[in-house]
Amino acid sequence: MSLLRVDGLEKKFGGVNAVEELSFEIRPGAVFSIIGPNGAGKTTLLNLLTGVYKPSAGRIEFDGHDLTGRAPHEYARHGIARTFQNLQIFFNMSALENVMVGRYMQERCGLMAALLHSPRLARAERACREDAAELMRYVGLQDYLSAASDAMPYGALKRLEIARALATRPKLMLLDEPAAGLNPTEVLELDDLIGKLTGRGVTVVLVEHNMRLVMGVSDHILVLDYGRKLAEGPAQAVRNDPRVIEAYLGSSATHDGSFGDAVAKAVAVGVEMHR
Amino acid sequence: MNSSRILTRLASPRTGGLLALAILIALLPLALPNRYFYDVAILVGLNAIVCVGLNLLIGYAGQISLGHAGFFGLGAYGSAILATRYGWPPLAALLATTVAVALLAFIVGRPILRLKGHYLAMATLGLGIIIFMVLTTEDKFTGGPDGISVVPFRIGAFALQGEHIWYWVVGVLLLLAVWLALNLIESPTGRALRALHSSEVGAEVVGINAAEHKLMVFVISAVFASVAGSLGAHYSGFVTPSKAAFLHSIELVTMVVFGGLASTYGAVVGAAVLTTLPQLLTSFEDYEMMVFGALMIGTMVFLPRGVVPSIARLLASRRKAVPDDKADGK
């Protein structure tokens, strides 16, 4: 039984194949990580899995529904939520309102109810506000309950996106480089937060360069390179896969610094684990 | 403690702001010495109704329209033709016109609102020009460039005539328009509009159908414009195509921006200032438009967010300077 099934997925931009012949399955309740060098197609894949991009070929099936070619809001309605590598915060609103927007699918009301501010809506608004505040506390943003979103530091904004995504009550949560730009303490807290998410029954897909985080939390890892699957399997197996290590070391010189760095860390973690 | 809660309630836009606006509308006649001033006040009210609707589209949802005078004109001509030429009861003419304009906005809005930024501006501009051309050239119905006279608005035997009655009618309708707009903005739908303004993809991935919301607010703003147009036609007793002209569209957008984008009261203030200012500046005679332009440039330089949001921000930062801000923060 799988929560998400991807079959022969392809995405072409002009003549470039950003994602090619990709098939995999995600089981419920796991942390599924997608790793690979910059430009490997990870973010493209996340955009495909949330309907932001339409695939050139292939099929995406979520929770028994074929969602191929649907709009992003339909993916959201079926229970897929995400965060963004380049933040998509609603900077024209307060932090709390950002999370309240995440509750849209539960809160949405008819136009007349909205225009006339029906008493039921007033009650629902209060509940929505409390729920959003609760979620902000849950992700550790209790100090920002009355903050304007454009006055918040970067790390807090990343959590705010997680809170907003959680507010949609997702079955599957896609995190696009949540650790990028965070300091080591914040990364540790993120590690905890991902653990809490799976504890809530949310399946997590993690796209991340921070190998320590990936190796620490993942149950299953998919390795992408040039839009193709390089390797896939349980974290332990992928970590020790000679092809992965070889490919990484062999190609690290041609990739940019941050990835070379990540590979070095990965190898270091691998060596650490071997001892 | 309790009194401070009442105070915050009164400071909220929906309760306090609406109350303040109601008091202002109720007391304003004391300062209006003659019919001419009433006439200006009614024009302010009608423009403000259009601007409150237009601000939902431009200020909150972030979608530009340079063709809203077209909807205003259609409202005016729809009422004029149905009530005057075909002898419909004015209320029925107004309602039928409103429904027709809403339908037109719905049909045209669907393809147009896929466009963004400058392209949307061009498309709405084109829509406004087409409406203007049709009103000017279909002279069999519209009277062409000379315009058309309009019967007074009457419900049964009761006719709305004279500036005094119209003042109260427009005043109450403006309050209603502001109330509806504030309600919408404070609802999940309003949050969705503000969200898609800031990040369309961010709104989509939490389940918001951005295209549907843009279309909805486009239709609502067209309806506000159309109703104001219908009322304006009955009030003045005469309509010309200039009501639907491009220049009028620009004036409406300018009022919204001047008062402050994403501020319902800003739209009212913008309409009030830019409608009355030319009347006040007539003493400058030949230099009237120059002074008008200079005042507008000056306002946008010194109050870049528009009058109301800039002043609100200024007051908020003053208040923050007082050290007890943490007291009721949570």
Q: Which chain A residue has its CA at the smallest distance from B210's CA?
A: A73
Q: Taking Cα atoms as reference points, which of B48, B55, B75, B57 lies closest to residue B275?
A: B48
d(CA B316, CA B116): 33
Residue B324 predicted with pLDDT over 60: no
Evaluate whether residue B12 is within a structural domain: no
- Quick one: pLDDT band at residue B329, thresholds 50, 70, 90? very low
Contact map slice: A 100-119 vs B, CB within 8 A: 100-105, 107-109, 111, 113-117
B187 contact partners, CB below 8 Å, separation of at least 6: A109, A113, A114, A117, A121, A125
Best of A70, A97, A117, A173 to disrupt the B interface (most B CBs within 10 Å) is A117
Q: Which residue has the tokens 């903050």?
A: A147
Q: Which chain B residue has its CA at the smallest distance from A84's CA?
A: B202
Mean pLDDT value of segment A240-252: 68
Mean pLDDT value of segment A109-126: 90
Q: Which residue has the tokens 């330089």?
A: B301
- Quick one: pLDDT band at residue A238, thresholds 50, 70, 90? confident
Evaluate whether residue B1 is within a structural domain: no
- Quick one: pLDDT band at residue B272, thresholds 50, 70, 90? very high
Beta strands in B132-250 (DSSP E): 148-149, 153-155, 158-160, 238-239
Residue A255: predicted pLDDT: 44
- Quick one: pLDDT band at residue A109, thresholds 50, 70, 90? confident
B187/A168 CB distance under 8 A: no
For residue B67, the enclosing domain spans: 17-27+36-325
Q: How far is B215 from chain A (nearest CA, A)?
A: 13
Architecture of domain A4-92+169-274 in this structure: 3-Layer(aba) Sandwich (3.40)
8 A C-beta contact, residue A96 and residue B197 = no
Residue A261 predicted with pLDDT over 60: no
Percent of chain B with pLDDT over 70: 93
Average pLDDT score, chain A: 88
The predicted-structure confidence for B41-80, as pLDDT tens digits, reads as follows 999 999 999 999 999 999 999 999 999 999 999 999 999 9
A-chain CB neighbours of B210 within 8 Å are 73
Residue A252 predicted with pLDDT over 60: no
Which residues of chain B approach chain A closer than 8 Å at the C-beta? 14, 180, 183-184, 186-192, 194-195, 197-199, 201-210, 216, 262, 329-330
Residue B326 predicted with pLDDT over 50: no
d(CA A181, CA B139): 66
DSSP A241: -
Q: Which chain A residue has its CA at the smallest distance from B196's CA?
A: A90
Which range, of A51-60, A93-102, A167-176, B1-10, averages the lowest pLDDT? Answer: B1-10
A40 contact partners, CB below 8 Å, separation of at least 6: A224, A225, A226, A227
Q: Taking Cα atoms as reference points, which of A192, A196, A144 lies closest to residue A166?
A: A196
Evaluate whether residue B65 is within a structural domain: yes
ipTM value for the complex: 0.86
Q: Which chain A residue has its CA at the smallest distance from B178's CA?
A: A115
Best of B187, B198, B227 to disrupt the A interface (most A CBs within 10 Å) is B187
B205/A81 CB distance under 8 A: yes
Domain boundaries, chain A: 4-92+169-274, 95-147
Residue A14 exposed, middle or buried by CB count within 10 Å (0-12, 13-18, 19+)? exposed
Comparing CB atoms, the residue among A51, A89, A164 nearest residue B206 is A164
Mean pLDDT value of segment B137-143: 91
SS3 A83: coil
- Nearest-5° Cα angle at A95, A91 to A98: 70
Bridge-based pairing of strands A65-66 and A57-62 is antiparallel
Residue A258: predicted pLDDT: 52
Residue A75, chain B, CB below 8 Å: the answer is yes
Q: Which chain B residue has its CA at the smallest distance from A174's CA?
A: B205
The predicted-structure confidence for B284-299, as pLDDT tens digits, reads as follows 878 888 888 888 888 8
Side-chain-side CA neighbours of B298 within 13 Å: the count stands at 6
Residue A268, chain B, CB below 8 Å: the answer is no
B188/A104 CB distance under 8 A: yes
* End-to-end CA separation in angstroms for chain B: 14
Residue A249: predicted pLDDT: 58
Residue A272: predicted pLDDT: 52
Residue A257 predicted with pLDDT over 50: no
Residue A265: predicted pLDDT: 59
Beta strands in A217-273 (DSSP E): 220-225, 228-234
DSSP per-residue letters across B49-98: HHHHHHHIIIIIS----S-HHHHHHHHHHHHHIIIIIS---HHHHHHHHH
Residue A131, chain B, CB below 8 Å: the answer is no
Evaluate whether residue B184 is within a structural domain: yes
Residue A267: predicted pLDDT: 58
Residue A253: predicted pLDDT: 41
B206/A102 CB distance under 8 A: yes
Evaluate whether residue B5 is within a structural domain: no
Comparing CB atoms, the residue among A72, A103, A121 nearest residue B201 is A72
d(CA A96, CA A160): 9
A104/B201 CB distance under 8 A: no
The predicted-structure confidence for B199-225, as pLDDT tens digits, reads as follows 999 999 999 999 999 999 999 999 999
Domain count, chain B: 1
Q: How far is B197 from chain A (nearest CA, A)?
A: 8
Residue B9: predicted pLDDT: 67
- Quick one: pLDDT band at residue A256, thresholds 50, 70, 90? very low
Residue A118: predicted pLDDT: 87
Mean pLDDT value of segment A154-163: 94
Count Cβ–Cβ pairs < 8 Å, chain A vs chain B: 109
Comparing CB atoms, the residue among B14, B208, B262 nearest residue A73 is B208
CATH value at residue B174: 1.10.3470
8 A C-beta contact, residue B55 and residue B49 = no
DSSP per-residue letters across B203-234: HHTTT--HHHHHHHHHHHHHHHHHHHHHHHHH
